[in-house]
Structure 1
Amino acid sequence: MSRDPAPPTPTLSQLRALIAVAQAGSFGEAAAELGVSQSSLSEAVGRLEAMTGRPLLRRTPGGTVATAAGERVLAHARAAVQAAGDVLLAAQDSGELSGTLRVAAYRSVATHLLPPALATFRRAHPGVRTVLLDGDTEETDAELALRTGRADAAVVVQGHTPGLHLTPLVYDEYLFVAPAARGDHPATLEELSGQTLFLPPGRDQCHRLVRQYLEREGVSLSGLTENPQDSVILSMVAHGLGVTILPRLALHPLPGGLVSLPLPGGLSRPLALAVLPWRAHLPLLRAFTDTLTRTLAARVPGGPPTPPPGAWPPALH
């Protein structure tokens, strides 16, 4: 009995080519990053498109982007390439780790929480190269970097990340920040709605959490002004141009000329380390998760604190 011929199967190099071009936005930049010729990259993507029977990329004035079919293929391509690398990672012994660990995190977390853990991890596992990715920008959003395979782990706000394996870390309280001349008497809702309020851009999760809090408390947003740089926001506030609400980690150390106070009713972001569920068992990720939680527990006796009021804001939409 004759057998039907096996369907063509994409190679890892073809999948890597598609991922590289989609991520770089052009064949030229992708070829330079991979260290191959542009023609070989075009040929690899062309063969993949021939197998699927439809275009996966299209050129636009802004660069090369994935088609609708390409977006669907990319999700599986990233998973396949990642799984191939995980074959080797899974075989490692926790005592002799090697490879690259990429962690995406908000700048405030990367500044104050991760360095001690990364230093401890490097001493214990010198064969692992660690890379810290900025999780505050649209291009390197922490959760997106994790889901698309650009990061192996990410610090995220727990409660807004379905489908991820989460390890709770700490609660980061949001504080009302005003000019020091205001004094340190408690902040009021009337004060929040009575002047210019500086916040990060609307795409930023910090903005969305604070906005939900303000809307829930009935605070007017008519004076809302957006700025992408925390340092600029704090300078504007110090000069009496308005007030802001930022996480405690983003305010440490608090610049001169400012006062920070708890919000009426309280608001916190519960931070967690996220990994893809099917990768949580990898020795490399287990070792880093253990190191991070132990380091934070040593800095906070008794472990993570009890969730404060407002620690679990409504789900983001």
Structure 2
Amino acid sequence: MTRSKSPSTHAQPTLAQLRALIAVVDAGGFGEAAAELNVSQSSLSEAVGKLEDLTNRPLLRRSARGTVPTPAGLRAVTHARTAVQAAGDVLLAAQDDGELSGMLRVSSFRSAATHLLPPVLVAFRQQHPAVTVRLLDGDRAGTGEHLVRGGQADLALIEGDSAADLRLTPLLLDDYLFIAPASRGTQPVTVQELVDSPLLLSPRGDACFQRIETYLGRLGVNTSGATTFEQDSVTLGMVRHGLGITLMPRLALLPVPDGLVTLPLPEPLTRPLVVAALPHRAGLPLIRAFTAALVESLGTVPADQLTNPRSHVWH
């Protein structure tokens, strides 16, 4: 729809209109967004229409992928997220530490969600029963940081310490291990063995592969001939059948399948696990409390206490 008027300098969008725009963009359609918000599709369409009247330009368009934002809509929805989040933060900031309530959205990658978060969630729920914690999938590299920056997650458990624009609170160091068929035995791993063995690794380009590639490069081990697999379970199955060796973070190994031996590397390699938040939101009582719970539960636990002994054959 073509509009010729300039945007109003007096009328301001309502939070309901901004939420409607965000919901449609996230859901990819009015019907899906209406169901998510538990409102009628007509009321959602009306809210977005009024917002488009205020901006005097279309913010959404139909495409083969559903309803997507126009260039103006893409710019607008970024600020809409910030505005809606800021309005909610007014209420969060006023809460007392001992009477927390509301929704906390936490992004985490699979191994952390499986092995680290459950005891934290149990303790946090007991201490703050009026808080609902919603877990979000942060398995893909950069997803957690992206969700926090975009206002779709309040906190993210991530690996690495390079997100300079976020407040990063260290949790623990997760060490990488050498994994081979159990028939290899438990004699120490040498650099020459890494050079000579077929490498079975995670997909090229992801954070794990990049960290391993850098590490092996320092030892003079070439990864150009490595075979890569999307799923850790597939990689470990190949190793178990004698098709090569792999390097994985300790947490990603759990539970370790039978038929494998896990050993320390010739030189240590670790990945730092941190919890990330936007700097201006890190001090909100709800976010601060959950961060403190994570640190209390995990920050003093050495990663090697999360599994069995450092050298072990799994039968």
Q: Under TM normalisation by the shorter chain, which class is it?
A: 0.7 to 0.9
Q: 1:189 to 1:61 in 2, by over 3 A?
A: farther
Letter in 2 for 1:182: R
Note the C-alpha offset of 1:131: 1.8
User: Which segments of 5 or more consecutive residues in structure 1 lack a partner in the other structure?
Assistant: 302-317
Give 1:304's aligned residue.
Answer: none
Return the match for 1:28 from 28, 31, 55: 31
Q: CA RMSD in A?
A: 2.4
The answer (yes or no) to whether the contact 1:31–1:37 under 8 Å persists in 2 is: yes
Give 1:236's aligned residue.
Answer: 238
Residue 258 in structure 1 maps to residue 298 in structure 2: no
With normalisation by structure 1, the TM-score equals 0.84
The answer (yes or no) to whether the contact 2:178–2:265 under 8 Å persists in 1 is: yes
Residue 44 in structure 1 maps to residue 47 in structure 2: yes
Judge which range, 123-132 or 52-61, deviates more.
Answer: 52-61
Judge which range, 173-182 or 268-277, deviates more.
Answer: 173-182
Give 2:270's aligned residue.
Answer: 268
Return the match for 1:119 from 105, 108, 122: 122
CA distance in 1, matches of 2:64, 2:250: 42
The answer (yes or no) to whether the contact 1:158–1:166 under 8 Å persists in 2 is: no
CA distance in 1, matches of 2:100, 2:293: 14
With normalisation by structure 2, the TM-score equals 0.85
Q: 1:299 to 1:44 in 2, by over 3 A?
A: same
1:176 alignment partner, SS class: strand
Give 1:220's aligned residue.
Answer: 222
The answer (yes or no) to whether the contact 2:172–2:300 under 8 Å persists in 1 is: no
1:277 alignment partner, SS class: coil
Give 2:104's aligned residue.
Answer: 101
Map residues 183-198 of structure 1 onto 2, 5 A cutoff: 183-198=185-200
Note the C-alpha offset of 1:66: 2.7
Paired residues, number: 296
Query: Percent of aligned positions with the same letter in both sequences?
Result: 59
The answer (yes or no) to whether the contact 2:161–2:168 under 8 Å persists in 1 is: no
Residue 75 in structure 1 maps to residue 78 in structure 2: yes
Letter in 2 for 1:23: D
Return the match for 2:210 from 195, 208, 211: 208
Note the C-alpha offset of 1:292: 1.5
Q: 1:217 to 1:279 in 2, by over 3 A?
A: same
CA distance in 2, matches of 1:69, 1:194: 55
Note the C-alpha offset of 1:171: 0.3
2:62 alignment partner, SS class: strand
- Give deviations 1:51-95, integer Å, cap 9, x for gaps: 334333333322333333333222211111111111111111101
2:169 alignment partner, SS class: strand
User: Which segments of 5 or more consecutive residues in structure 2 lack a partner in the other structure?
Assistant: 1-7, 304-315
Judge which range, 205-214 or 102-111, deviates more.
Answer: 205-214
CA distance in 1, matches of 2:74, 2:220: 40
Map residues 302-313 of structure 1 onto 2, 5 A cutoff: none
